Each structure stands twice: as C-alpha cells, then as structure tokens.
Chain A
Amino acid sequence: MDKVMRMSSEKGVVIFTKSSCCLCYAVQILFRNLRVQPTIHEIDTDPDCREIEKALLRIGCSTAFPAVFIGGKLVGSTSEVMSLHLSGSLVPLIKPYQSLLY
C-alpha cells in the first residue's frame, strides 16, 4: 500500500503504533534507551487505519502493531525486535541513527 510504503521508507527507525498498545510503548522505550529517536506513526487516529493494518500484515509483519522499519526495511513486531536485540544484531542496524547526545 502506497501510504505504508511512503511512511515506512522515511529515514531512520519508523514505528507504526496504536495509542492504546502498551507493547508498542515498550518498543519505543527500548529504542529510546538505545539512543534512537524513532518516527512514530500512531494510526488509530488515521482514517485508513484498517487498510494500513492489512497492508502491514501482508508485507510480513507478525503483528500489525508495533511494526518496526529500519532504513526502509521491515524488521517486524515486538518479538522480532527483541530477538534481534538479544542476539546483538539490532545495534549494528540502528548505528547510523543513534544520537551521540545521551
């Protein structure tokens, strides 16, 4: 879906979330602790919410929310992000986007 493609190919870490989703919040916290400022798209307020959800599932996200993209590429949902991080593979992916400040 065009909208999803456009939003997901933005630079850096892009996360599609729902405001009521607490696991989405957990993923955001993780990235913030890794000194990354992800771009958050909260889509429960978006009129195309259902379409976006279907599109995310179609392109291979295990759960529509949260859907994490890094550098335009789909990483996955919470479980995938956690697995990547524990295996040490997440940090190399976000290195270009890590802030030097905090």
Chain B
Amino acid sequence: MNTTSTHFVPPRRFEIYETTLNQVSMWEENFKNNGGIYIPNSIIIPTDAKQDSLSDDTSHGTPHKFDQEASTSRHPDKTQRRLAQNREAARKSRLRKKAYVQQLETSRLKLIHLEQELDRARQQGFYEGNRVDTNALGFSVKMSSGIVAFEMEYGHWVEEQNRQISELRTVLQGQVSDVELRLLVDNAMKHYFQLFRMKSAAAKIDVFYIMSGMWKTSAERFFMWIGGFRPSELLKVLLPHFDPLMDQQVLDVCNLRQSCQQAEDAVSQGMEKLQHTLTDSVAAGNLGEGSYIPQITCAMERLEALVSFVDQADHLRHETLQQMHRILTTRQAARGLLALGEYFQRLRALSSSWATRQREPT
C-alpha cells in the first residue's frame, strides 16, 4: 500500500502512520465515546527522519489492515486532503501534549521545592510562631534571618520564664531565706532586661515586626502599647498583690503610678505625631499619578524614628520594673514578679483557648 504524497514532509523524529478514511471515522467515534480524549489507534514509533520510511510500514508491524486501494482510486484528492488534515491534527495534538507535560513537570518540581522549604522552616524552631509574614494581599514574605533568630530566642526566653515562675511559686509556698529570694528576684529582673535587649536588636532589623507584636500571642497583642506591655497597666495589675504596704511605700507607689502615666502619655503623644508626619509624607503630592518614589523616600527617613520610640517604650518598662524593685522589699518583689509572670501566662492561655474554642453552629 502506498498512500504517501510527494508533498508530505515527515516530522523530525516521530511519525504517525497514515490510515484510511475508515480509520479516521473510527477515531472520531473513539474521540466522542471517550469524552473527547484522543486515543489514536495508530502506534507512534520513533523512526529516522527518512522520507521513505513511510513506505516501509509493513516492516514496522502496524496491526491494522488497510483497505485503501478502493477509496484512493475513487477520490484521490479528497483522501489526500483528509490525510494531510489528519497529520496536521495529530502533530498539533502531540505539541499540546508535550507542552502540558512540561508544565506538569515544572509544577511538580516547584511543589517539591516548596515542601522542602516548609520542612526546613518548621525544623528551625519548636516555637509555633509566625514563621512567614504575609503582606496585605496575603502573599507569603520570607522573614529575615535576624527575625527568625529573634523568634527562636524568644521561644527559649518563654521557657526560661515559665521555669522561673514555677520556682518562685514553689519557693514562696514554703520557707525561704531573704538571700535566696533576692537571688531569684535579681534573676527575674535580669531576665526581663534581656528581653528588652533582644527586642532592641530585632527592632533595628524590622521595626514593623516588633510594633505588630508578631512574636506574641493574640491576647498579649491586644493589650500592646508600642511594642510591649503598658507600664501603667502593669502597676495596676500588681498593686493588690503587695499588701501589706508601709505608708512610705504607699506614697512611693502612688507617685510612681502618676509619673508612669505622665511619661506614657508624653510618649503616646509623640507617637501620634510620628504617625501624622508619616501619613503626610506618604500622602504628599498628587495621589493618583502612579509614581511616588520621593514620597516613599521621605517616609522611609521618618520611619527611622520608630525604632527610637520602641526603645523609649522599653526604657519606660525597664525603669518601671526598676523602681518597683527599689520601693518593695525582697519578699514583696518576689510576690510581684510571680504575679506578673502568671498574668502573662494567663494571657497566653487565653489566646490558645480562644483560638481553639468550639463555636456553637448558628
């Protein structure tokens, strides 16, 4: 059988065998029955790109018998046209399939890569904090290594904090010497001061991260004031636990509460001014022009001041703790630090309870 036309140029490496009109109609049936999936009945066999291989189809063992003589002789042009169309269709189909498979391969590799990254990120810390930040559109943004390190350190810090709180609790339930208590109190104070140092370093790397309290639990974040707890709030929470207080102590604590509030107010107002100047910088010029590099540059300069504010807020926290330590006796300070520690533990517990609460279906 010989159905080659002299115009036909075979594709580089693969060839599909030509068939009769009958075969074409069979395929069409197949195509319809299989929901549009093209299942060729012919075999794709790699061949040399030789013109004459087409005529050697008997040696390649195609299983179909062709009854071509009759149709060819009757309508040679129509047949030729149909065959050419068939070849073209088959070629396009192969190209599409190839493209699709390539896409699948790329996606598969990407998926493997992402899974590996995710595993690595999980292994880097046992603390279930936010490993990956999200921007306004919800796309994941990789955190800098300094922030990742901070999160890990903070995880350790919380563990040590919990251990110290347990120790204080146990020790205060029994008999303990002032000397031993003083040691525990000093350690607890140093532990808080260490956190402020850690935060200061992290603020220099990413002040927005510190300001949003990303490393804290949700309830802690709710009560945040410039990157941490509010000093005046701290005093309010702890005050009932210091009874009995001597007269001079009562006076000192009252004065501390007042000056703490005043300092806080001043810094808060400074913070508000910073926000206003930032808004002015960002919104300067014509909103809607589409180019805003000068505005961003100006805002970036102003943003540097935010780091000083975080430092100043932590300084207030530091000084408040320091003053409490000065005013109180060792035993009172120990009780106060225990109360403070447990207060934060309760906030953390509140966060996880809230996150896992069972809602009643409405």
Contact = CB atoms under 8 A, between A and B. Distances in A.
Interface of A: 20-23, 25-27, 29-30, 33-34, 78-79, 82-83, 85-88, 90
B270 A22 contact: yes
Contact of B312 (A20, A33, A34, A79): A79
A20 B299 CA distance: 12
B53 to A, nearest CB: 81
B319 interface: yes
B302 to A, nearest CB: 7
Contact of B305 (A21, A83, A85): A21
Contacts of A27: 266, 270
A83 B323 CA distance: 9
Contacts, number: 71
Contact of A86 (B256, B273, B274, B277): B256
A79 B311 CA distance: 9
A25 B263 contact: no
B256 A29 contact: no
Contacts of A85: 259, 262-263
Contact of B256 (A30, A79, A82, A88): A88
B201 interface: no
A87 B274 contact: no
Contacts of B262: 30, 33-34, 85
B320 interface: yes
B269 interface: yes
A68 to B, nearest CB: 13
Contacts of B259: 85-86, 88, 90
Given A25-B273, A86-B259, A20 B302 contact: yes
A34 B266 CA distance: 11
Contacts of B320: 86
Contacts of B271: 22, 26
A87 B319 CA distance: 8
Given A21-B305, A22-B305, A33 B265 contact: yes
A26 B260 CA distance: 14
A29 B266 contact: yes
A82 B316 contact: yes
Given A82-B316, A82-B319, A23 B305 contact: yes
Contact of B315 (A29, A79, A88, A90): A79
A61 B96 CA distance: 73
B277 A20 contact: yes
Sorted nearest first, the 8 A-B pairs with minimum C-beta distance are A26-B270, A30-B266, A22-B274, A29-B266, A86-B319, A26-B266, A22-B270, A22-B273
12 contacts: A22-B270, A25-B270, A27-B266, A29-B265, A33-B266, A79-B315, A82-B312, A83-B315, A86-B256, A86-B260, A86-B322, A87-B319
